[in-house]
Chains A and B, each alone.
Chain A
Amino acid sequence: MAKVTLTVNGRRVSEDCDDRMLLVHFIRDKLGLTGTHVGCDTTQCGTCVVHMDGRSVKSCSVLAVQAAGSDVTTIEGLAAQGDLHPVQAAFKEHHGLQCGFCTPGMVMTAVDMIHRHGGQLDEATVRHELEGNICRCTGYHNIVKAVLAANADMQAGREAAE
């Protein structure tokens, strides 16, 4: 049992947990942030993706104690209450979700992807970058569209800001 302290969605949290507790369970069960999901046991499906210290990680494959001291962002912390991040807005606009279960991981992945590629994304790159996220509903068609649209929107936003 350890006291694990980290920052989640800008808030400092401190909880007792077993050393074997995974970050995803810490987020879901200790913090009640149930937007981060578990869809497989083998680090493949990506429904558990969160950002840790600015990088996308699979929270099902990180122990909560490993994340102690880190800054974690989950789907709940991506936009202010009631608002949608441009990626979330693009998923809605382009019907990039159906059952919604893979969606938080997809969105967190897309945000990370768009940041890393600095606006330079095409369909093939997006499809390759989604290798670690499985969706059973959409056939990815509209997810790819949504990511490209969000990328274009965010790029336009960056250019306008310059």
Chain B
Amino acid sequence: MGVEGIGARVTRKEDKRFLTGKGRYTDDMSVPGMKHACFVRSPYAHARIRGMDTTAAREMPGVIGILDGRQLQADGIGNLICGWMIHSKDGSPMKMGAWRPLAYETVRYVGDAVAIVVADTYAEARDAAEAVTVDYEELPAVTEAVSALQAEAPQIHPEAPGNLIFDWQIGDPEATDRAIASAAHVTEIKIHNNRLSPNPMEPRSTLGIYDAAEEHYTCYTTSQNPHVARLVMSAFYNVAPENKLRVIAPDVGGGFGSKIYIYPEEIVCLWASKKTGVPVKWTSDRTEAFLTDAHGRDHVSTVKMGFDADHRIVGLKVDTIANLGAYMSLFSSAVPTYLYATLLSGQYAIPAIHANVRTVYTNTVPVDAYRGAGRPEATYLLERTMETAARELGLSPAELRRKNFIRSFPYQTPVIMNYDAGDYEASLSAAMQAADWDGFPARKAEAAERGKKRGIGMSCYIEACGIAPSAAVGSLGAGVGLWESAEVRVNAVGTIEVLTGSHSHGQGHETTFAQLVAERLGVPIDSVNIVHGDTDKVQMGMGTYGSRSGAVGMSAVVKALDKVEAKAKKIAAHMMEADENDIVIENGELKVAGTDKTVPWFQVALSAYTAHNLPAGMEPGLKETAFYDPANFTFPAGCYIAEVEVDPETGKTQIVQFVAADDFGNIINPMIVEGQVHGGLAQGIGQALLEEVRYDPESGQLLTASYMDYAMPRADDLPSFDLSHQNTPCPSNPLGIKGCGEAGAIGSPPALINAITDAIGTNDLTMPATPMKVWLAMQANH
């Protein structure tokens, strides 16, 4: 490891611009003639649109144009799609209802857009939006998935009778039933995974610019995957052909999944720019973000886990109902299926697993991937079940887990995944040691003297990251491949640009990707620039989500670097009259091994571009492109331990200790990896203790539409974290990287709930464990 190479704690190259206010986010963009948009949104959860009157609104000051869904439809703009086909167990395809960018027949959730108003200023656009009169016929609404499946529930889409999108299964139902019937002990539990709002601090924003002379569109947008946005807007929404559409995702202020999807606003602003003849910018306010950003989680499950007399798991049966909201968002169908049920084996050898998943339409904003996406739901379900089982069986939580750990690899689970490497015992032991697990009883007694109830809880998680092998996901219904691309451009003076299809919105790619180049070529990271987020600059790429940028994106860079190195070696060999197989690259020089012959990196680059003396037949230049398609998922895993004190008088939980022991494989920059874990933990702890999206079940109104009612984790809600790493390199990619972006959010919720239920002596507590809920649980226990 060099001072800037792989494994070094390099401070971030991108920080200075963010720290000095020079970051450039979409809402910071301004172009000549730019005007502002405000959307007219449904105040009802479910209603038929009988008509719309924009006469008064058009007369308002500053108004340039008001456009609706019929005009959009007439111009041939298509409906929004879900890009992952799931078939029900009866073989029928999922039932996708029409999602119009601007609704004109029916609105299906509070916030559904029905018109766009473009005006000189945002304030004027909003004034006029309020003056648009929409004649709604309110219909009955349903917001909870279980209720939506009832016979008398309102019907949301004609395409999906009974609001059922699909009824899917995985695993062997008969073998699982037999295993559970024969079990010495069966633990049964109901699991509710609370609905969350991702809440990146930067609200979504988009700027649509139509150039009439070139018939060309430019879309600035808050996206985690600008190329996918361009592809989908071209191929499916018919906004413009790809060569006439440039998508730029500049600095993006966090995503956590919510900025993967292509939302109506991007499409409508591009189209509105053409219709009105002015560049159109829209920026969400926070209330709109709560109303319209895709939510996460929202599962209800029942679980049966059978154990033999020796406390080994013999079978796991899961029945899940997942709320997908009013429309099927881009990856929504994959989340409660292939990103969830395929992880139900956890870290445990379970011979028989069966999961049934029903997904359901409701009159709520669409639900899609949010940090972890399916894997937090699987981990929470398993780890709450394991904890409950340990209590029922009278075993320590660690003992029950150890008894069931998978210990040899590769390991084929009954639910598709083939785990390639791991050491679950190592993380468990490290976490228990760091947490001083054995010292807990003394701490509990001391806390009791202070009138506090102290509890400890653990969680052993596994996730499938490095998403994903294209052929595998294609066979499972994905509409796209999930490879990644890279281009390494060596300039004539030896400086380097790396163009990547990954997108950084906080992850620090400008630093870590440069570290990889520094490691390989021995050049300083300041001579390496990372270029991303612009479809005019970067070759097709698939973007950042599913902890894939390291495992997939950087692997593509490795492949491109391999090609660059091979060519550079050929040139150097030619220059030094040596055999190319004898050339090594060290400290920014190319050397003939075992001799003192060297040529500096920049001279090789210069030679490539002067082309005065290249090997016979070699093309000039030094620039290579690679596409990397992973051979397998990666499997980060770890053990988290939470220790809490509950105030018995108020029910308030204080986290007194949080330990995370993670196996992410090889690590490029420990500082950045730790930061990713910290952030993930905060979101997981937020889910466990604070956060929940609530709709009024009768009216369908969103009750948690601002930070006044949606509890975001703040600094004083959280402790400092104790982190360690136990690294078993990933065998399936060249860097041995597993990914670290989602682990914290996946592993932490059950650790917290296990700790609180340990403290107050119950198994019955749902997330978020608010002070009131914990207090009520204690009252019920008395």
Contacts and interface: CB of A to CB of B under 8 A. Distances in A.
B201 A39 contact: yes
B8 to A, nearest CB: 13
A134 B24 CA distance: 20
B714 interface: yes
Interface residues of A, number: 57
Given A123-B720, A140-B718, A103 B19 contact: yes
A108 to B, nearest CB: 10
Contacts of A84: 16, 19-20
Main secondary structure of the interface of B (DSSP, over half): loop
A101 B16 contact: no
Contacts of B200: 99, 101, 136
Given A42-B708, A99-B201, A100-B18, A127 B672 contact: no
B715 interface: yes
B20 A139 contact: no
A74 B716 CA distance: 26
Given A42-B708, A95-B671, A100 B11 contact: no
B119 to A, nearest CB: 13
Contacts of A135: 201, 715
Given A42-B708, A84-B19, A104-B21, A95 B714 contact: no
Contacts of A139: 678-683, 713, 718, 721, 744
Among B22, B24, B675, residue most surrounded by chain A Cβ atoms (within 10 Å): B675
A98 B507 contact: yes
A131 B718 CA distance: 12
Contacts of B715: 126-128, 130-131, 133, 135, 140, 143-144
B720 A45 contact: no
A119 interface: no
B714 A74 contact: no
B718 to A, nearest CB: 6
Interface stretch (B251-259, B441-449, B595-603): B251-259
A118 B75 CA distance: 63
Contacts of B123: 18, 20
B201 A45 contact: yes
Interface string B6-42: 0000011011111111111101101000000000000
Contacts of B27: 34, 37-38
Interface in A31-62: 32-42, 44-45, 47
B287 interface: yes
Among A37, A124, A145, residue most surrounded by chain B Cβ atoms (within 10 Å): A37
A139 B254 CA distance: 13
Nearest to A123: B720
A88 interface: yes
B706 interface: yes
A91 interface: yes
A99 B505 contact: yes
Interface in B692-706: 706
Given A99-B200, A101-B202, A136-B679, A35 B707 contact: no
A135 B678 CA distance: 11
Interface string A10-29: 00000000101000000010
Given A42-B286, A144-B720, A97 B714 contact: no
A91 B19 contact: yes
B546 interface: no
B296 interface: no
B25 A75 contact: no
A92 interface: yes
B12 A102 contact: no
Nearest to A124: B716
Nearest to A101: B253
A41 B15 contact: no
Given A92-B15, A93-B11, A136-B712, A142 B202 contact: no
Interface of B: 11-12, 14-25, 27-28, 30, 123, 199-203, 251-254, 256, 283, 285-287, 505-508, 671-672, 674-675, 678-683, 706-708, 712-716, 718, 720-721, 744
14 contacts: A35-B21, A35-B22, A37-B25, A38-B27, A44-B707, A79-B20, A98-B254, A101-B201, A101-B254, A134-B714, A136-B199, A136-B682, A137-B675, A139-B713
Given A101-B201, A128-B716, A140-B682, 11 more contacts: A20-B123, A42-B286, A98-B254, A100-B251, A103-B18, A127-B718, A128-B715, A137-B254, A138-B678, A138-B679, A139-B679
